């Protein structure tokens, strides 16, 4: 007669508590790091420090993390204060903050207060306050922004409009940008 090992028995360790309003996909926990990317190091650069200073506190609302190798497709994301994309998301959303990691990709439509792009964004993007494109970031599509910061190496292409109101917000027509690498 074989004895049952602890592997098949009851799980004795309780699940880790999660901060209120925090949701996690892909097996990463928002505990243990300020940016909600499991135990990974926070993104480090002068632009990210500047963006973090202007971004609303990540602990002050609902946060959704789409982990690496996770694909979230055909959804509308609502009532989410911060979306962290480490995998692939095809969605429509209206939120406060989106953070796209280097390996992350977002395709669809988004209306955001603050966007930090280290990966790929493709679609319609309206950033009411500040768009930050890091050196590894690539943003394509119909883009509207209040303020913009592009690190050297960051890419921006498509129909680019200053201001979040239609027609550019300042009475000037939209600027059409060809794909190119930004230089500082």
pLDDT at 180: 52
Whole-number pLDDT of residue 119: 97
What CA–CA distance (Å, rounded) separates 51 from 109?
22
- Contact indicator for 182, 131 with CB cutoff of 8 Å: no
Residue 155 CB neighbours (<10 A): 19
Chain centroid to CA 121: how far? 9
Tens of each residue's pLDDT in the chain, 184 residues: 555 555 444 444 444 445 555 444 544 433 333 444 444 444 444 444 444 444 444 456 899 999 999 999 988 998 899 999 999 999 999 999 999 999 999 999 999 999 999 999 999 999 999 999 999 999 999 999 999 999 999 999 999 999 876 444 444 444 455 555 554 4
Residue ranges of the alpha helices (H) in the chain? 46-54
- At 113 the pLDDT is 95
**pTM for the full model?**
0.62
Q: What is residue 141's predicted lDDT score, i.e. its pLDDT?
A: 97
What integer pLDDT is reported at residue 38 of this predicted model? 43
Residues comprising the chain, all counted: 184
């Amino acid at each position: 007669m074989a004895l049952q090992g602890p592997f098949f028995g009851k799980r004795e360790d309780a699940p880790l508590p999660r901060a209120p309003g925090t949701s996690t996909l892909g097996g990463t926990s928002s505990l243990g790091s300020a940016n909600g990317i499991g135990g990974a190091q926070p993104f480090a650069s002068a632009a990210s420090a500047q963006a973090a200073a202007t971004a609303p506190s990540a602990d002050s609302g609902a946060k959704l993390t789409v982990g690496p190798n996770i694909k979230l497709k055909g959804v509308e994301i609502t009532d989410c204060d911060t979306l962290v994309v480490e995998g692939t998301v095809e969605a429509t959303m209206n939120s406060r903050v989106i953070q796209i990691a280097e390996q992350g990709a977002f395709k669809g439509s988004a209306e955001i207060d603050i966007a930090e792009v280290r990966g790929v964004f493709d679609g319609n993007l309206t950033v009411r306050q500040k768009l930050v494109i890091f050196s590894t970031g690539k943003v394509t599509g119909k883009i509207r922004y209040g303020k913009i910061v592009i690190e050297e190496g960051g890419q921006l292409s498509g129909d680019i409009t200053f201001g979040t109101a239609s027609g550019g917000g300042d009475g000037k027509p939209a600027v059409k940008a060809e794909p190119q690498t930004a230089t500082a």
